[in-house]
């Protein structure tokens, strides 16, 4: 009896050990696929953008080797048939973006500016509303209210983004902005910023509320014991203690705003320009990528390669934001632990 039980115990341990090894390899494979996918995305973007950033072109090389008489007649034809590549300086510092219309120009700053306007505008909408909603859900709302309101926020987050774009185009602009500001165009950055801000409110509020709910009740009770009001506990105890999670919610929401495509393309239009008037039409990096994707540019042309250059720029911006957010969160986490 004892020997049989010992044998069964050993066989069970062997099976459990095998299962643990399989699970470990499976988990490692999932993590490896995630890293490999990220590296593949970077490789595709870099490989596609390499041809876009070349200092010397075939046109320039032929212009330096051919005689003046032969080059005069042939260089113009070559310029029409070959894509004149762009330097990194021209791309990053240029203020005119016109890749599809002659004369072409490839300064990405108008696209970056349009993306920045939408991101900042959406932050002005989503961060105050989302944070106050999170404070209400965490500190003021009854359990029944919380159970009702959180699913509504989740439904709001699940609405397709193109629906938000139509909402901005058919309601926000004609019903709100144009009566207040008659000079508002049909496509404008303000409506795009407002609708993207509405779209990311659930992300800000839900993640911030989760961070606030994780604050130990002992901190709240200690503050109440010192005579603090609920408002003082919320703003001076709960929010500072959960600041790392709240900042993470902000960064994730803003990263979503930076990468938003269809809602921005419908509400904002596709006119790349640098202007301080949010009531005018602009273009973001993502909407330009959509524009190139649906156009008839030939594969391998400089217009096609600009798609990868803009995508690489967008990736670099979001990557930098995430790195900064990790650093900021670590600083606040060290302070409050």
Residues 29 and 67 in one domain: no
Examine the domain organization and report whether 331 and 216 are in the same domain: yes
Residue 102 lies in a domain: no
256-297 pLDDT, tens per residue?
899 888 899 999 988 899 999 999 999 999 999 888 877 777
Residues 2 and 81 in one domain: no
Question: Does 15 map to a domain?
Answer: yes
130 and 230 both lie in a single domain: yes
Contacts of 173 (CB under 8 A, 6+ apart): 184, 186, 188, 191, 267
Does 129 fall in a domain? yes
Residues 6+ apart with CB under 8 A from 129: 197, 201, 204, 205
CB–CB of 193/278 below 8 Å?
yes
Integer angstrom CA distances of residue 41 from 27, 28, 34, 315: 22, 20, 11, 10
Asked if 67 and 140 sit in the same domain, the reply is: no
The predicted-structure confidence for 142-179, as pLDDT tens digits, reads as follows: 888 888 888 888 888 888 889 999 999 999 999 999 99
Identify whether 92 is part of a domain: no
Q: What is the pLDDT at residue 200?
A: 93
Which range marks the domain in which residue 62 is found?
A: 57-85
181 and 155 in contact (C-beta within 8 Å)?
Answer: no
Q: How far apart are CA 100 and CA 274, in angstroms?
A: 18
Is 69 part of any domain?
Answer: yes
Q: Residues of the chain whose pLDDT is less than 70?
A: 1-16, 54-85, 332-337
The predicted structure's pLDDT at residue 313: 92
Task: Check whether residue 1 and residue 22 sit in a common domain.
Answer: yes
**Does pTM top 0.85 for this prediction?**
no
pLDDT of the residue at 147 = 85
124 and 245 belong to one structural domain? yes
Beta partners for residue 53, in sequence order: 86
Residues 46 and 167 in one domain: no
pLDDT of residue 185: 87
Number of structural domains (the chain) is 3
Cα–Cα distance, 108 to 95 (Å, whole number): 7
């Amino acid at each position: 009896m004892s020997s049989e039980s010992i044998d069964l115990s050993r066989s069970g341990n062997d099976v459990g050990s095998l299962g643990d090894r399989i699970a470990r390899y499976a988990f490692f494979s999932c993590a490896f696929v995630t890293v490999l996918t990220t590296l593949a995305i970077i490789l595709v973007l870099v490989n596609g953008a390499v041809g876009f950033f070349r200092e010397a072109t075939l046109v320039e090389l032929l212009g330096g080797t051919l005689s003046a008489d032969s080059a005069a007649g042939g260089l113009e034809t070559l310029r029409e048939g070959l894509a004149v590549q762009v330097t990194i300086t021209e791309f990053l510092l240029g203020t005119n973006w016109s890749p599809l219309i002659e004369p072409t120009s490839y300064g990405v700053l108008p696209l970056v500016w349009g993306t920045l306007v939408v991101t900042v505008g959406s932050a002005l909408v989503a961060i105050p509303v989302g944070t106050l909603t999170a404070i209400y859900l965490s500190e003021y709302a009854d359990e029944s209210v919380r159970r009702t309101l959180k699913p509504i926020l989740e439904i709001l987050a699940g609405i397709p983004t193109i629906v938000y774009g139509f909402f901005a185009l058919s309601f926000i602009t004609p019903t709100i902005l144009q009566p207040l500001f008659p000079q508002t165009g049909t496509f404008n950055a303000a409506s795009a910023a407002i609708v993207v801000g509405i779209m990311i409110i659930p992300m800000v509020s839900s993640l911030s509320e989760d961070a606030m709910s994780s604050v130990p009740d002992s901190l709240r009770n200690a503050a109440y014991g010192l005579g603090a009001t609920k408002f003082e506990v919320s703003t001076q105890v709960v929010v500072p203690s959960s600041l790392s999670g709240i900042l993470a919610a902000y960064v994730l929401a803003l990263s979503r705003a930076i990468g938003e495509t269809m809602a921005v393309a419908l509400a904002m239009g596709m006119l790349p320009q640098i202007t301080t008037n949010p009531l005018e039409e602009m273009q973001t990096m993502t909407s330009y990528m959509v524009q190139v994707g649906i156009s008839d540019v030939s594969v391998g042309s400089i217009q096609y390669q600009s798609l990868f250059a803009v995508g690489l720029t967008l990736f670099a911006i979001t990557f930098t934001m995430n790195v900064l957010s990790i650093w900021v969160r670590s600083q606040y986490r060290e302070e409050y632990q």
